[in-house]
Amino acid sequence: MEKIWLKQYPEGVPAQVDTSVYASLVALLEEGFERHRARPACTFMGRSFTYGEIDGLSAAFAAFLQAQGLAKGDRVAIMLPNTPQYLVAIAGVLRAGCIVVNVNPLYTPRELEHQLRDAGAKALLVLENFAATLQQVLGQLPQLRTVVLAALGDQLGFFKGALVNHVVRRVKKMVPPYSLPGAIRFNTALAQGRAAPRRLVDIGPDDIAVLQYTGGTTGVSKGAVLLHRNLVANILQSEAWYRPALGRVPQGEQLGTVCALPIYHIFGFSTIVLLTMRVGGYSILIPNARDLPALLKTLSKQRFHSFPAVNTLFNALANHKDFSSVDWSHLRICVGGGMAVQQATARLWLEKTGCAIVEGYGLSETSPSVSCNPVNNTEFNGTIGLPLPGTELALLDDAGNPVPTGQPGEIAIRGPQLMAGYWQRPDETAKAMTADGFFRTGDIGTMDERGYFRIVDRKKDMILVSGFNVYPNEVEDVLTQLPGVLECAAIGVPDGKAGEAVKVIIVRKDPALTEDQVRGYCEANLTGYKRPKVVEFRTDLPKSPVGKVLRRELREQPQPQKVDS
């Protein structure tokens, strides 16, 4: 496919980036530690941690891991919310020559056992609040030799008195702390690491940096093998793409980025934390983004310029009564990813902040960023933008042939950020790849004559009504523009005549919204076969930890647990 999108690149954005400038992610991080030593790398609960502090602490953690007998290529799992320990752990694990395995702290015992067993993790750093889950499966994980237990209250001795109580109220209220027999306390691990020699490890671009497990929303969770060169490439690609917006940060100000998305998710891990460290900015770590009052209170005390998020978070914040308590005037870039950004949300966000959401697209398998709208856009256009520098996108039919411009096809990706494959799953890797090295995403998209791509829907979410394709994203985007709708999801349900019918599940903003009003709006805005046959109201929708609506759960559990009257 001709790279017609290059003609739309903003001035100063290159067609390619030189990924050979760093031999590894470790080299990139260590350059940042040295260059920005006295600057804050992150803020958390009112306290800043400098690049120099993260440097020293991560070196100690690396030495500790090596003293535990961990060698190059061993997997170390990190099961933490957004805290400074996470940044220390990322750098420490990589500097020890080991592989980071990001773990969702809210996993059930079954999910946790699957991931730790599949990855063959030999060590785990876990917050004490989630250690009870680990305890239930430890007996099935003989390879897990070292468990390090972190605590918010004793973290490096920095939190005392009222601040600890604040942390307890805001984060610990979700899950009580649990003392795990045989575990090593994080502070103890750092002390042991400071007293031990650290071996420098020869790490190259083709060494594995991260096993990033897919969310499991489309099947069994698999580990995407991300090499050092994959992550370095994506950080440099994103930096080049964001540069026009970063250049609008007032001279002398340090870039502040809101890190409300979980770091264990690839969007938070790479596009927020690692990219922010690359450019010498600081991340505002939000341990629980679902606590909107606490999030807004934190942001009301901070100056920030960048806010990457998902549609559900943008929507929830913009509709919150305390939204105006935050000074949004310094925002220079808002990137939407992880799920489709809806027009109604984008319109409201622009109206309230003056900063347009630029939608992007990415996957765990691509480190994650694949495409993005130009960051100097002043309005939302409903596309996922243009492929990032050095990235190729193709649209394929079921036989693997390119489709004509404007026709829907499965999005396939080739670029330096693309994973090496799925961890110990050569069969799954082979199914996902084409003979010429493109990764088939399972997402259906179109490309216009300028090279802008648009997601139509996931292949597995598509609804087939009497032979006609209905894309849930379209139905949802229309319905969220109906006054009175807060959020919604569209799924397919069995239908004796049409094979499948459209069902919509709606969370109301206006309690007075009726089914008749919904049907009337759909009749005016959707052709017949796209209109919902079933309308259901609920008080909430099931979501992944990053905030993505889980249509699969709605299909598998059609009877709501909570229904509006």
Overall number of domains in the chain: 2
174: its two tokens: 């979700």
Residue 194 inside a domain? The answer is: yes
Domain boundary among 203, 222, 238: 203
CB 68 within 8 A of CB 114: no
Q: Which of 315-329, 466-480, 517-531 has the highest mean pLDDT?
A: 315-329
* CATH number of domain containing 103: 3.40.50.12780
Q: Is residue 417 part of a domain?
A: no
Confidence of residue 558 (pLDDT cuts 50, 70, 90): low
Q: Are 534 and 504 in contact (CB under 8 A)?
A: yes
Q: Does any domain span residue 69?
A: yes
- Out of 185, 203, 221, a domain closes at 203
- The predicted-structure confidence for 72-124, as pLDDT tens digits, reads as follows 999 999 999 999 999 999 999 999 999 999 998 988 888 899 999 999 999 99
* Percentage of the residues of the chain whose pLDDT score is greater than 90: 80
Question: How do residues 477-507 score in pLDDT, each as one tens digit?
Answer: 999 999 999 999 999 999 887 888 999 999 9
Q: What is the mean pLDDT of residues 149-164?
A: 55
Please identify which residue in the block is written with the tokens 């002390």: 191
| pLDDT at residue number 175 | 56
- Count CB atoms within 10 A of the CB of residue 1: 13
The more confidently predicted of residues 160 and 174 is 174
Looking at the domain assignment, is residue 278 inside a domain? no
Q: Is residue 235 part of a domain?
A: no
Range 436-457 average pLDDT? 95
Where b means 16+ CB within 10 Å and e means fewer, 292-304 reads bebbbebbeeeeb
Separation between Cα atoms, residue 143 and residue 158, nearest integer Å? 33
Among 276, 281, 272, 241, which residue's Cα sits nearest to residue 375? Answer: 241
Burial 144-180 (b: 16+ CB within 10 A, else e): bebbbbbbbebbeeebeeeebeebeebbbeebebbeb
pLDDT tens digits along 391-417: 999 999 989 999 999 999 999 999 999
**Residue 211 falls inside a structural domain:** no
* Structural domain harbouring 500: 462-556
In a domain, 125, yes or no: yes
Q: What is the pLDDT of residues 355-401, one digit of tens each?
A: 999 999 999 999 999 999 999 999 999 999 999 999 999 999 989 99
With respect to residue 120, please indicate whether it lies within any of the assigned structural domains: yes
pLDDT band at 220 (very low <50, low <70, confident <90, very high): low
Tokens linked to 239: 């930096």
